[in-house]
Amino acid sequence: MDFTSVEPTLPSSRGGVSAAVIEYLRNAGPSPGEMEIIGVTPLGEDLQLALYVCYELHYRGFAGVDPDREWDPDLLKIRVVLEKSFLRALHDGAPRHRRADEALGELLVQPVDGTGVSHFLQDKGELWQLREYAAQRSLYHLKEADPHAWVLPRLWGRAKAGMAAVEFDEFGGGRAERVHARLFADLMADLDLDTSYGHYLDATGGEALALVNMMSLFGLHRALRGALVGHFATVEITSPPGSRRLAQAMRRNRAGPAAEHFYDEHVEADAVHEQVVRREVVAGLLEEEPRLEDDVAFGVDATTYLEDRFAERLLGAWRAGKSSLRTPV
């Protein structure tokens, strides 16, 4: 199977909320529209999986699920409840209110003694850890740049032009073999991973799901367009140094040419994208809509918050000699 296969299968549930949503999509359960989520952890496995399943209906959907369910009123009703809980958790985890240039400026400073995931993988990561990392990141990278495309109709002027230019590169500059999602599928093949779209959903933890869900949340809501721009800027600014370390990790483990190429490509491309995003997308947006400054900074801080949670899961497991996955690859 290949990542171009259209529809993944529905995942196994992780609690009452995700079970209700999944069973409803299977036509085997009642409407979840009026379901109470009191006591459900906003960033926990159950809520994040339920939200992911709701969002995935806007991308490729699921095998055997009617495409019309994308706009099912009962699913939209429970999704709103889940989104509000998730958004509150993001504000609680990233409560700072500051200027966008201050938030973005911090991302440009590389710590001398890096302790992040890419540092770990560069210095001591083993092949099995690279495979786990790629499996969990695949939920985004096999649709890389798709969540960000939602913001294009919500921008205009310099911001729209800059965003479209970066997205054009992400989608291969008109060449199918250079689409970044295709390059990541090739990386997965080098690592002997299944390249089917959504294949590792059951194995992926809630921390990684939250990162993908945040992109969809910001992209699908016009009111959160500033947060989406802040998130996107964070990705592009932090990508070149992180990708350089990951490329070195792939080489050290002899992962394969496609595995190395994916991160080499991001070192070069995202160094250019960073400049476009900062000078055209962010600056253009704030020139037109200065009231969105807090939202841009929030997008930066929320992304950093969720990336830190993801890193804690991976590094905590790996340093203990354990798998970071819910199920083995």
**Helix extents (H) in the chain:** 16-25, 45-56, 73-93, 100-107, 117-123, 127-141, 146-149, 157-170, 180-190, 206-220, 225-252, 257-276, 283-288, 293-319
| Domain end residue (candidates: 67, 92, 117) | 92
- The reply to whether 312 and 181 lie within a common domain is yes
The reported pTM is: 0.95
| Domain end residue (candidates: 43, 76, 92) | 92
pLDDT tens-place string over residues 269-311: 778 888 899 999 999 999 999 999 999 999 999 999 999 999 9
Q: How far apart are the first and last CA of the chain?
A: 15
- The reply to whether 144 and 230 lie within a common domain is yes
- The reply to whether 269 and 288 lie within a common domain is yes
Distance CA 82, CA 70 (A): 16
- The reply to whether 146 and 204 lie within a common domain is yes
- The reply to whether 64 and 172 lie within a common domain is no
- The reply to whether 109 and 88 lie within a common domain is no
Q: Report yes or no on 224 lying in a domain.
A: yes
The DSSP call for residue 173 is G
- The reply to whether 180 and 253 lie within a common domain is yes
Q: How far is CA 40 from the centre of its chain?
A: 22
Return the ∠ at Cα 139 (arms to 133 and 141), rounded to 5°: 80
Range of the domain at 24: 16-92
- The reply to whether 142 and 44 lie within a common domain is no
pLDDT of 112 reads 57
pLDDT tens-place string over residues 96-155: 777 888 888 888 776 656 789 999 999 999 999 999 999 999 999 999 999 999 999 999
- The reply to whether 111 and 88 lie within a common domain is no
Distance CA 267, CA 274 (A): 11
